[in-house]
Structure 1
Amino acid sequence: MTASHPERLRLDDRDIKILSILQREGRIPKAALAERVNLSATPCWERLRRLEDAGIIESYQAQISLKAFGPVTMVFVQIEIENHRSDDFARFEKAIAAVPEVVECWAVGGGMDYICKLVVRHLDDYQKLINNLLAQEIGIKRYYSYVVTLPVKDEPLPVGLLAASQD
Protein backbone atom coordinates (compact mmCIF):
# COMPACT_ATOMS: atom_id res chain seq x y z
CA MET A 1 0.00 0.00 0.00
CA THR A 2 1.37 3.41 -1.04
CA ALA A 3 0.12 6.91 -0.40
CA SER A 4 -1.02 7.31 -4.00
CA HIS A 5 -2.76 3.92 -4.05
CA PRO A 6 -4.41 3.32 -0.69
CA GLU A 7 -5.85 -0.10 -0.02
CA ARG A 8 -9.43 -0.18 -1.23
CA LEU A 9 -12.20 -0.71 1.24
CA ARG A 10 -14.32 -3.69 0.28
CA LEU A 11 -17.90 -2.59 -0.17
CA ASP A 12 -20.81 -4.93 0.34
CA ASP A 13 -24.37 -4.48 -0.92
CA ARG A 14 -25.40 -2.42 2.13
CA ASP A 15 -22.43 -0.06 1.73
CA ILE A 16 -23.35 0.43 -1.91
CA LYS A 17 -26.97 1.09 -0.99
CA ILE A 18 -25.90 3.62 1.66
CA LEU A 19 -23.73 5.44 -0.88
CA SER A 20 -26.46 5.41 -3.52
CA ILE A 21 -29.03 6.83 -1.13
CA LEU A 22 -26.68 9.52 0.19
CA GLN A 23 -25.81 10.70 -3.33
CA ARG A 24 -29.48 11.38 -4.00
CA GLU A 25 -30.67 12.28 -0.50
CA GLY A 26 -27.71 13.70 1.40
CA ARG A 27 -29.89 15.15 4.16
CA ILE A 28 -31.69 11.91 4.94
CA PRO A 29 -31.90 11.41 8.71
CA LYS A 30 -29.57 8.68 9.93
CA ALA A 31 -32.49 6.71 11.39
CA ALA A 32 -34.29 6.77 8.04
CA LEU A 33 -31.09 5.71 6.27
CA ALA A 34 -30.69 2.79 8.67
CA GLU A 35 -34.27 1.71 8.01
CA ARG A 36 -33.83 1.95 4.23
CA VAL A 37 -30.76 -0.32 4.30
CA ASN A 38 -32.38 -2.72 6.78
CA LEU A 39 -29.99 -2.10 9.68
CA SER A 40 -30.42 -0.82 13.19
CA ALA A 41 -29.12 2.68 13.85
CA THR A 42 -25.75 1.87 15.46
CA PRO A 43 -24.44 -0.56 12.79
CA CYS A 44 -25.59 1.84 10.07
CA TRP A 45 -23.77 4.76 11.72
CA GLU A 46 -20.65 2.61 12.09
CA ARG A 47 -20.74 1.82 8.37
CA LEU A 48 -21.22 5.49 7.60
CA ARG A 49 -18.22 6.42 9.76
CA ARG A 50 -16.10 3.69 8.09
CA LEU A 51 -17.03 5.06 4.63
CA GLU A 52 -16.13 8.58 5.77
CA ASP A 53 -12.85 7.48 7.40
CA ALA A 54 -11.87 5.58 4.24
CA GLY A 55 -12.38 8.77 2.21
CA ILE A 56 -15.16 7.25 0.10
CA ILE A 57 -17.57 9.89 1.39
CA GLU A 58 -15.69 13.14 0.92
CA SER A 59 -18.41 15.58 1.92
CA TYR A 60 -22.11 16.24 2.17
CA GLN A 61 -23.46 19.02 0.01
CA ALA A 62 -26.62 20.40 -1.50
CA GLN A 63 -27.28 20.10 -5.20
CA ILE A 64 -28.31 23.59 -6.29
CA SER A 65 -30.80 24.05 -9.10
CA LEU A 66 -29.48 26.37 -11.79
CA LYS A 67 -33.09 27.07 -12.82
CA ALA A 68 -33.64 28.76 -9.46
CA PHE A 69 -31.29 31.55 -10.54
CA GLY A 70 -33.08 32.29 -13.78
CA PRO A 71 -31.35 32.05 -17.12
CA VAL A 72 -27.75 30.89 -16.90
CA THR A 73 -25.29 29.70 -19.51
CA MET A 74 -23.17 26.59 -19.11
CA VAL A 75 -20.15 26.23 -21.36
CA PHE A 76 -17.65 23.41 -21.76
CA VAL A 77 -14.24 24.54 -22.97
CA GLN A 78 -11.42 22.44 -24.37
CA ILE A 79 -8.11 24.14 -23.74
CA GLU A 80 -4.68 23.46 -25.15
CA ILE A 81 -1.76 25.18 -23.48
CA GLU A 82 1.25 26.52 -25.35
CA ASN A 83 4.03 24.63 -23.59
CA HIS A 84 3.97 21.31 -21.81
CA ARG A 85 6.37 21.82 -18.94
CA SER A 86 5.28 21.18 -15.37
CA ASP A 87 5.59 24.90 -14.52
CA ASP A 88 3.25 25.77 -17.40
CA PHE A 89 0.64 23.29 -16.23
CA ALA A 90 0.96 24.55 -12.67
CA ARG A 91 0.60 28.21 -13.76
CA PHE A 92 -2.53 27.43 -15.77
CA GLU A 93 -4.08 25.31 -13.00
CA LYS A 94 -3.41 27.97 -10.36
CA ALA A 95 -5.07 30.63 -12.51
CA ILE A 96 -8.10 28.45 -13.28
CA ALA A 97 -8.52 27.54 -9.60
CA ALA A 98 -9.01 31.25 -8.85
CA VAL A 99 -11.91 31.67 -11.34
CA PRO A 100 -15.24 31.01 -9.60
CA GLU A 101 -17.10 30.57 -12.90
CA VAL A 102 -14.95 27.53 -13.64
CA VAL A 103 -16.86 24.98 -11.59
CA GLU A 104 -14.98 21.91 -12.84
CA CYS A 105 -11.71 21.39 -14.69
CA TRP A 106 -10.02 18.17 -15.73
CA ALA A 107 -6.55 17.56 -17.16
CA VAL A 108 -7.07 15.13 -20.06
CA GLY A 109 -5.02 13.09 -22.47
CA GLY A 110 -5.46 13.34 -26.23
CA GLY A 111 -5.59 16.41 -28.43
CA MET A 112 -6.38 18.91 -25.68
CA ASP A 113 -4.86 19.44 -22.26
CA TYR A 114 -7.92 20.48 -20.22
CA ILE A 115 -11.69 20.38 -20.30
CA CYS A 116 -13.42 22.98 -18.13
CA LYS A 117 -17.05 23.45 -17.18
CA LEU A 118 -18.09 27.07 -16.71
CA VAL A 119 -21.30 28.62 -15.48
CA VAL A 120 -22.02 32.27 -16.26
CA ARG A 121 -25.09 34.45 -16.37
CA HIS A 122 -24.87 35.38 -20.07
CA LEU A 123 -22.79 34.38 -23.07
CA ASP A 124 -21.13 37.80 -23.15
CA ASP A 125 -19.96 37.14 -19.56
CA TYR A 126 -18.29 34.00 -20.87
CA GLN A 127 -16.52 35.94 -23.61
CA LYS A 128 -15.30 38.54 -21.11
CA LEU A 129 -13.98 35.75 -18.92
CA ILE A 130 -12.13 34.10 -21.82
CA ASN A 131 -10.69 37.46 -22.88
CA ASN A 132 -9.49 38.01 -19.31
CA LEU A 133 -7.85 34.56 -19.19
CA LEU A 134 -6.11 35.21 -22.50
CA ALA A 135 -4.89 38.60 -21.26
CA GLN A 136 -3.39 36.97 -18.16
CA GLU A 137 -0.99 35.05 -20.39
CA ILE A 138 -1.40 31.79 -18.50
CA GLY A 139 -0.32 29.76 -21.52
CA ILE A 140 -3.56 29.19 -23.43
CA LYS A 141 -2.63 28.31 -27.01
CA ARG A 142 -6.15 27.62 -28.29
CA TYR A 143 -9.58 26.85 -26.95
CA TYR A 144 -12.87 25.48 -28.22
CA SER A 145 -16.18 26.44 -26.65
CA TYR A 146 -19.32 24.33 -26.45
CA VAL A 147 -22.44 26.07 -25.16
CA VAL A 148 -24.90 23.74 -23.43
CA THR A 149 -28.29 24.07 -25.08
CA LEU A 150 -30.05 21.28 -23.19
CA PRO A 151 -28.89 19.27 -20.18
CA VAL A 152 -29.69 15.66 -21.06
CA LYS A 153 -28.32 13.66 -18.12
CA ASP A 154 -26.79 14.52 -14.76
CA GLU A 155 -26.66 11.51 -12.47
CA PRO A 156 -24.70 10.49 -9.39
CA LEU A 157 -21.79 8.07 -9.69
CA PRO A 158 -22.82 4.46 -10.47
CA VAL A 159 -21.39 3.18 -7.19
CA GLY A 160 -22.78 -0.32 -7.69
CA LEU A 161 -20.94 -0.69 -10.99
CA LEU A 162 -17.75 0.89 -9.68
CA ALA A 163 -17.71 -1.30 -6.58
CA ALA A 164 -18.26 -4.40 -8.73
CA SER A 165 -15.07 -3.58 -10.64
CA GLN A 166 -13.04 -4.05 -7.43
CA ASP A 167 -13.09 -7.82 -7.92
Structure 2
Amino acid sequence: MSSYRLDARDVEILRVLEREGRITKTELAERINLSPSPCWDRLKRLEEAGIIEGYGARIALRALAPHVTVFVAAELVNHTTDVFRTFETAVQDIEEVTACWALGGGFDYLLQVVARDIDAYQRLIDRMLASEIGLARYYTYIVTKPVKGPAPLPLAALGLPQRD
Protein backbone atom coordinates (compact mmCIF):
# COMPACT_ATOMS: atom_id res chain seq x y z
CA MET A 1 0.00 0.00 0.00
CA SER A 2 1.20 3.48 -0.81
CA SER A 3 2.39 5.83 1.93
CA TYR A 4 0.52 8.64 0.19
CA ARG A 5 -2.07 10.09 2.54
CA LEU A 6 -5.38 10.88 0.86
CA ASP A 7 -7.49 13.81 1.89
CA ALA A 8 -11.07 14.58 0.87
CA ARG A 9 -9.97 16.49 -2.26
CA ASP A 10 -7.86 13.56 -3.43
CA VAL A 11 -10.81 11.22 -2.94
CA GLU A 12 -13.04 13.62 -4.90
CA ILE A 13 -10.50 13.64 -7.76
CA LEU A 14 -10.59 9.84 -7.79
CA ARG A 15 -14.38 9.76 -7.71
CA VAL A 16 -14.72 12.16 -10.65
CA LEU A 17 -12.03 10.45 -12.74
CA GLU A 18 -13.49 7.01 -12.15
CA ARG A 19 -16.83 8.13 -13.57
CA GLU A 20 -15.52 10.53 -16.22
CA GLY A 21 -12.01 9.52 -17.26
CA ARG A 22 -12.06 11.80 -20.31
CA ILE A 23 -12.70 14.96 -18.32
CA THR A 24 -10.20 17.73 -19.03
CA LYS A 25 -7.81 18.75 -16.28
CA THR A 26 -9.39 22.22 -16.27
CA GLU A 27 -12.90 20.78 -15.89
CA LEU A 28 -11.65 18.46 -13.15
CA ALA A 29 -10.23 21.43 -11.26
CA GLU A 30 -13.57 23.26 -11.56
CA ARG A 31 -15.54 20.20 -10.44
CA ILE A 32 -13.55 19.80 -7.24
CA ASN A 33 -13.44 23.56 -6.64
CA LEU A 34 -9.68 23.93 -6.86
CA SER A 35 -7.52 26.07 -9.12
CA PRO A 36 -5.90 24.20 -12.03
CA SER A 37 -2.25 24.11 -10.89
CA PRO A 38 -2.87 22.61 -7.43
CA CYS A 39 -5.38 20.19 -8.96
CA TRP A 40 -2.86 19.05 -11.57
CA ASP A 41 -0.18 18.69 -8.86
CA ARG A 42 -2.51 16.44 -6.86
CA LEU A 43 -3.33 14.41 -9.96
CA LYS A 44 0.36 13.92 -10.72
CA ARG A 45 1.06 12.83 -7.12
CA LEU A 46 -1.82 10.33 -7.25
CA GLU A 47 -0.37 8.87 -10.47
CA GLU A 48 3.20 8.77 -9.11
CA ALA A 49 2.02 7.10 -5.90
CA GLY A 50 0.42 4.35 -8.02
CA ILE A 51 -3.07 5.15 -6.77
CA ILE A 52 -4.19 5.97 -10.31
CA GLU A 53 -3.00 3.00 -12.34
CA GLY A 54 -4.19 4.21 -15.73
CA TYR A 55 -7.03 5.51 -17.84
CA GLY A 56 -9.24 3.60 -20.23
CA ALA A 57 -12.58 3.28 -21.96
CA ARG A 58 -15.43 0.97 -20.98
CA ILE A 59 -16.24 -0.91 -24.17
CA ALA A 60 -19.69 -2.39 -24.84
CA LEU A 61 -18.46 -5.73 -26.16
CA ARG A 62 -22.03 -6.83 -26.94
CA ALA A 63 -22.13 -4.04 -29.55
CA LEU A 64 -18.95 -5.32 -31.23
CA ALA A 65 -19.19 -9.09 -31.47
CA PRO A 66 -20.99 -12.16 -30.18
CA HIS A 67 -19.20 -13.54 -27.14
CA VAL A 68 -19.59 -15.51 -23.95
CA THR A 69 -18.29 -14.54 -20.51
CA VAL A 70 -17.33 -17.41 -18.26
CA PHE A 71 -16.14 -17.51 -14.68
CA VAL A 72 -13.79 -20.39 -13.98
CA ALA A 73 -13.05 -21.65 -10.48
CA ALA A 74 -9.65 -23.29 -10.74
CA GLU A 75 -7.82 -25.76 -8.54
CA LEU A 76 -4.10 -26.33 -8.95
CA VAL A 77 -2.26 -29.65 -8.87
CA ASN A 78 -0.61 -28.73 -5.58
CA HIS A 79 0.10 -25.71 -3.43
CA THR A 80 3.76 -24.97 -3.89
CA THR A 81 5.21 -21.57 -4.60
CA ASP A 82 6.48 -22.78 -7.98
CA VAL A 83 3.05 -24.02 -9.09
CA PHE A 84 1.36 -20.77 -8.01
CA ARG A 85 4.03 -18.74 -9.81
CA THR A 86 3.80 -20.86 -12.98
CA PHE A 87 0.02 -20.54 -13.12
CA GLU A 88 0.00 -16.81 -12.41
CA THR A 89 2.67 -16.16 -15.03
CA ALA A 90 0.82 -18.24 -17.62
CA VAL A 91 -2.56 -16.50 -17.19
CA GLN A 92 -0.88 -13.12 -17.76
CA ASP A 93 -0.26 -14.20 -21.36
CA ILE A 94 -3.74 -15.58 -22.09
CA GLU A 95 -5.70 -12.81 -23.77
CA GLU A 96 -9.09 -14.41 -23.11
CA VAL A 97 -8.44 -14.34 -19.35
CA THR A 98 -9.57 -10.79 -18.63
CA ALA A 99 -9.23 -11.02 -14.84
CA CYS A 100 -7.86 -13.48 -12.31
CA TRP A 101 -8.03 -13.49 -8.54
CA ALA A 102 -6.20 -15.74 -6.06
CA LEU A 103 -8.68 -17.02 -3.48
CA GLY A 104 -8.61 -18.32 0.05
CA GLY A 105 -10.97 -21.19 0.71
CA GLY A 106 -12.15 -23.99 -1.57
CA PHE A 107 -10.76 -22.89 -4.94
CA ASP A 108 -7.32 -21.51 -5.69
CA TYR A 109 -8.26 -18.96 -8.38
CA LEU A 110 -11.28 -17.36 -9.99
CA LEU A 111 -10.78 -16.41 -13.63
CA GLN A 112 -12.97 -14.26 -15.84
CA VAL A 113 -12.78 -15.46 -19.42
CA VAL A 114 -14.25 -13.84 -22.53
CA ALA A 115 -14.41 -16.05 -25.61
CA ARG A 116 -16.15 -16.03 -28.97
CA ASP A 117 -18.39 -18.96 -27.98
CA ILE A 118 -18.48 -22.03 -25.73
CA ASP A 119 -16.44 -24.06 -28.20
CA ALA A 120 -13.67 -21.45 -28.19
CA TYR A 121 -13.80 -21.40 -24.38
CA GLN A 122 -13.45 -25.19 -24.21
CA ARG A 123 -10.50 -25.14 -26.63
CA LEU A 124 -8.83 -22.56 -24.36
CA ILE A 125 -9.34 -24.76 -21.29
CA ASP A 126 -8.02 -27.78 -23.20
CA ARG A 127 -4.87 -25.80 -24.10
CA MET A 128 -4.45 -24.70 -20.48
CA LEU A 129 -4.72 -28.31 -19.27
CA ALA A 130 -2.27 -29.56 -21.92
CA SER A 131 0.26 -26.80 -21.25
CA GLU A 132 1.01 -28.08 -17.75
CA ILE A 133 0.65 -24.73 -16.02
CA GLY A 134 -0.58 -26.45 -12.87
CA LEU A 135 -4.32 -26.54 -13.58
CA ALA A 136 -5.77 -29.72 -12.06
CA ARG A 137 -9.53 -29.09 -12.07
CA TYR A 138 -11.81 -26.35 -13.23
CA TYR A 139 -15.46 -25.47 -12.74
CA THR A 140 -17.26 -23.46 -15.40
CA TYR A 141 -19.90 -20.83 -14.64
CA ILE A 142 -21.40 -19.27 -17.76
CA VAL A 143 -22.75 -15.73 -17.48
CA THR A 144 -26.33 -15.70 -18.77
CA LYS A 145 -26.83 -11.95 -18.39
CA PRO A 146 -25.00 -9.06 -16.82
CA VAL A 147 -26.80 -7.66 -13.79
CA LYS A 148 -24.27 -5.11 -12.59
CA GLY A 149 -21.12 -4.30 -14.48
CA PRO A 150 -17.91 -2.73 -13.37
CA ALA A 151 -19.00 0.01 -11.00
CA PRO A 152 -17.10 2.84 -9.38
CA LEU A 153 -15.28 1.77 -6.25
CA PRO A 154 -17.14 2.31 -2.96
CA LEU A 155 -14.70 4.97 -1.73
CA ALA A 156 -16.99 6.28 1.03
CA ALA A 157 -17.74 2.75 2.25
CA LEU A 158 -13.99 2.16 2.59
CA GLY A 159 -13.78 4.97 5.12
CA LEU A 160 -11.79 7.35 2.94
CA PRO A 161 -12.03 11.07 3.76
CA GLN A 162 -15.11 12.80 2.28
CA ARG A 163 -15.76 16.45 1.53
CA ASP A 164 -18.57 18.08 3.47
Please say whether Structure 1 and Structure 2 have the same fold, judged by a TM-score greater than 0.5.
Answer: yes
Q: 4+ residue runs of structure 1 moved beyond 3 angstroms? A: none
Percent identity for Structure 1 against Structure 2:
54
| Cα RMSD (Å) | 1.5
Quick one: distance in 2 between partners of 1:6 and 1:58?
A: 12
1:31 aligns with 2:37: no
Write the mapping of 1:78-97 to structure 2, written as runs, cut at 5 A: 78-97=73-92
Output the TM-score relative to the length of structure 1.
Answer: 0.89
1:22-76 per-position Cα deviation (integer Å, ceiling 9, x unaligned): 1111110111111111111111111111211211111111222112213211001
- The one-letter code of the counterpart of 2:131 is Q
Q: Is the partner of 1:76 in helix, strand or coil?
A: strand
Aligned equivalent of 1:110: 105
Q: 2:155 aligns with which of 154, 159, 166?
A: 159
Query: Please, which runs of 5 or more residues in structure 1 have no aligned partner?
Result: none
Output the TM-score relative to the length of structure 2.
Answer: 0.91
CA shift, 1:6, in A, is: 4.1
Query: Please, which runs of 5 or more residues in structure 2 have no aligned partner?
Result: none
Quick one: distance in 1 between partners of 2:124 and 2:36?
A: 49
Write the mapping of 1:16-165 to structure 2, written as runs, cut at 5 A: 16-154=11-149, 155-164=151-160
Quick one: distance in 2 between partners of 1:25 and 1:40?
A: 19
Matched length: 160
Q: Is the partner of 2:42 in helix, strand or coil?
A: helix
